[in-house]
């Protein structure tokens, strides 16, 4: 039977090729949509985990996009006095305050990372929280140790490896898991080490002349509250501390989530329509095949093919075309996804985490199963019609091409 199916498909090679390509485009789009959806979902979740805060406090003169600051880890190159951290800790209802210090953007000479890398100083509490997000994470860093983002210095992975930053030697603590944000292109170090480095930088001297000694400055505060219902109230108290801008994570998260839901809806609709399109396309193809090839089917019936065998032959062709298309479509879909991923990574404007191999395999297997089922579904009705063909038709027909 397999030989008959293969021969039939090869005999109509252009027709088969067109069908396979049609299915391939659909399957590819579906896989790309699936991977992007999961990438966004994971990215948002990872962003939320990484943030671990209800409020983000930045200097009042900072022109910052809350989405980028909260979920994409966008750097803040403005500074405020570090006293605000201590004052924030005194506000009733504040559970945790973490300060960050943005040193400067770096251009790495060794690698093409598609974007600039950032040097950020973090407190020990941040180090501890980040440690929980990485398999080999450590809860404390030595002054000369750094954590590097997943997309940086790909050839340096062994803890203890030496890295030169702005003329100074540091040791690699560990590498972060991908987050799909600017954090993937960031170098993190103890906040005091970052301030020292910034203070020694000739390029940044004009900045410190305006802003003051970097050892007394911070770029942002991440604040967690005891009672989420008091976020607004605490936010107002923080604004009262001085010229500060307070961004509520929950609001931003909800807005981003709504945006993502809308985006995912469009992607999912595209995927579903593609799958339906595949069914309609194959159904049309096999409806026409049932009619065009009735002479051949009738001959098979006359020579002893049972009705179930006829159904197997027709459905087998359809499933073979659908699976063939899906197999070709999967690499196309992966390529499309990689293209979108590269674009998104370069923008760093939306949280995105590249799905792992397991999800990729699951997506590919799911697409194969789905298209196998679509192939079956599309040919079922035509196959049943073919099975009902009168074998006597064969007595009245000419040669079969």
Measured in degrees and rounded to the nearest 5, phi and psi for residue 21 equal -65, -40
- Return the residue matching tokens 């390529």: 335
From 7, 254, 261, 342, residue interacting with another protein (rule: CB under 8 A): 7
Nearest distance in Å: CB 298, another protein: 9
Looking at the Cβ atoms of 135 and 395, the one nearer to another protein is 395
Q: Is residue 4 close enough to count as binding another protein by CB under 8 A?
A: yes
Instruction: Return the number of the residue (191 or 298) whose C-beta is nearest another protein.
Output: 298
Contact region with another protein (CB under 8 A), list: 8-16, 21-29, 224-232, 243-251: 8-16
279 sits in which H/E element? helix 249-292
Closest approach, Cβ 314 to another protein, in A, equals 14
Inter-residue contact 184 to 118 (CB < 8 Å)? no
CB 385 to another protein: min, Å:
15
Site string for another protein, 9-28 (x = CB under 8 A): -xx-----------------
On whether the CB atoms of residues 320 and 375 are closer than 8 A, the answer is yes
Find the helix packing angle between 294-302 and 249-292, rounded to 10°. Answer: 70
CB of 382 to another protein, least distance (A): 19
Q: What is the rounded CA–CA span in Å between residue 245 and residue 236?
A: 10
261 makes contact with another protein (CB under 8 A):
no
Give the nearer residue to another protein in terms of CB position, either 199 or 393.
393
Helix (H) or strand (E) holding 63: none
Please choose, out of 4-12, 16-24, 53-61, 133-141, the segment that lies near another protein by the rule CB under 8 A.
4-12
- The DSSP code for 242 is S
Alpha-carbon separation of residue 359 from 34, 171, 331, 345, 390 (angstroms): 9, 33, 15, 19, 48
Please choose, from the candidates 323, 319, 308, 313, the residue with its C-alpha nearest in 3D space to the C-alpha of residue 293: 313
SS3 397: coil
Site membership for another protein, residue 3 (CB under 8 A): yes
Nearer Cβ to another protein (223/313): 313
What residues numbered 371-400 form the site for another protein, per CB under 8 A? 390-392, 394-400
- DSSP states of 87-151: HHHHSTTEEEEEEEEEEEEE--SS---SS-EEEEEE-HHHHHHHHTTSTT--S---TTEEEE-TT
Size of the site for another protein (CB under 8 A): 29
Dihedral (C-alpha) 175, 180, 184, 190: value to the nearest 10 degrees? -80
175, 147 contact by CB (below 8 A): yes
Nearer to another protein, 100 or 394 (CB): 394
| Among positions 8, 179, 193, 252, the unique one binding another protein when judged by CB under 8 A | 8
Tell which residue, 82, 392, 117, 91, has the closest CA to residue 238. 91
Q: Please, what is the minimum distance in Å from the beta carbon of residue 322 to another protein?
A: 21
Residues 398, 401: Cα–Cα separation, whole Å: 9
DSSP class of residue 292?
Answer: H
In the DSSP assignment, the letter for residue 389 is: S
The contact pattern for another protein, residues 51-90, with x = CB under 8 A and - = no contact, is ----------------------------------------
**Which element (helix H / strand E) includes 173?**
strand 168-175
Min separation Cβ 10 and another protein, Å: 6
Q: Does 280 bind another protein (CB under 8 A)?
A: no
Does residue 123 bind another protein (CB under 8 A)? no
From the CB of 20, what's the least distance to another protein, in Å? 17
Nearer to another protein by Cβ, of 7 and 49: the residue is 7
Stretch near another protein under the rule CB under 8 A, chosen from 7-15, 114-122, 123-131, 147-155:
7-15
The phi and psi torsions of 59 (rounded to 5 degrees) equal -60, 145
Q: How far is the CB of 307 from another protein (least distance, A)?
A: 6
Residues 295-354 that bind another protein (CB under 8 A): 296, 299-307, 309
**Site residues (vs another protein, CB under 8 A):** 1, 3-4, 7-8, 10-11, 296, 299-307, 309, 390-392, 394-401
């Amino acid at each position: 039977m397999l030989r008959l199916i293969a021969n039939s498909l090869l005999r109509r090679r252009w027709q088969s090729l067109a069908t396979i390509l049609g299915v391939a485009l659909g399957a590819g789009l579906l896989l790309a949509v699936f991977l992007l959806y999961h990438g966004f979902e994971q990215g948002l979740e990872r962003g939320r985990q990484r943030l671990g805060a209800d409020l983000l406090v930045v200097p009042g003169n900072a022109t910052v996009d809350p989405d980028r600051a909260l979920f994409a880890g966008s750097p803040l190159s403005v500074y405020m006095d570090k006293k605000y951290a201590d004052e924030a800790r005194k506000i009733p209802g504040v559970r945790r305050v973490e300060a960050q210090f943005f040193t400067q953007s770096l251009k790495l000479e060794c690698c093409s990372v598609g974007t600039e890398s950032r040097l950020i100083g973090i407190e020990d509490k941040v180090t501890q929280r980040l440690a929980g997000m990485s398999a080999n994470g450590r809860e404390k860093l030595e002054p000369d140790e750094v954590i590097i983002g997943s997309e940086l210095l790909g050839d340096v992975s062994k803890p203890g490896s030496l890295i030169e930053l702005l003329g100074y030697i540091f040791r690699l603590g560990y590498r972060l898991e991908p987050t799909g944000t600017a954090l993937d292109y960031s170098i993190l170090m103890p906040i005091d080490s970052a301030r020292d480095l910034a203070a020694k930088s000739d390029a940044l001297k004009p900045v410190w002349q305006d802003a003051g000694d970097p050892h007394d400055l911070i770029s942002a505060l991440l604040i967690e509250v005891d009672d989420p219902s008091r976020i607004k109230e605490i936010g107002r108290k923080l604004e009262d501390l001085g010229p500060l801008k307070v961004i509520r994570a929950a609001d931003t998260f909800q807005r981003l989530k709504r945006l993502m839901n809308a985006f995912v809806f469009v992607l999912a609709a595209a995927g579903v329509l593609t799958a339906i399109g595949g069914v309609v396309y194959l159904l049309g193809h096999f409806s026409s095949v049932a009619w065009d090839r009735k002479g051949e089917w009738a001959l098979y019936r006359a020579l002893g093919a049972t009705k179930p065998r006829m159904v197997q032959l027709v459905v087998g062709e359809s499933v073979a075309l659908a699976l063939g298309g899906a197999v070709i479509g999967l690499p196309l879909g992966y390529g499309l996804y990689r293209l979108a991923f590269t674009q998104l990574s370069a923008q760093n404007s939306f949280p995105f985490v590249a799905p792992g191999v397991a999800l990729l395999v699951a997506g590919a297997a799911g697409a194969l199963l789905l298209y196998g089922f679509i192939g079956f579904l599309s040919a079922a009705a035509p196959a049943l019609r073919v099975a009902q063909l009168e074998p006597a038709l064969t007595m009245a027909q000419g040669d079969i091409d």
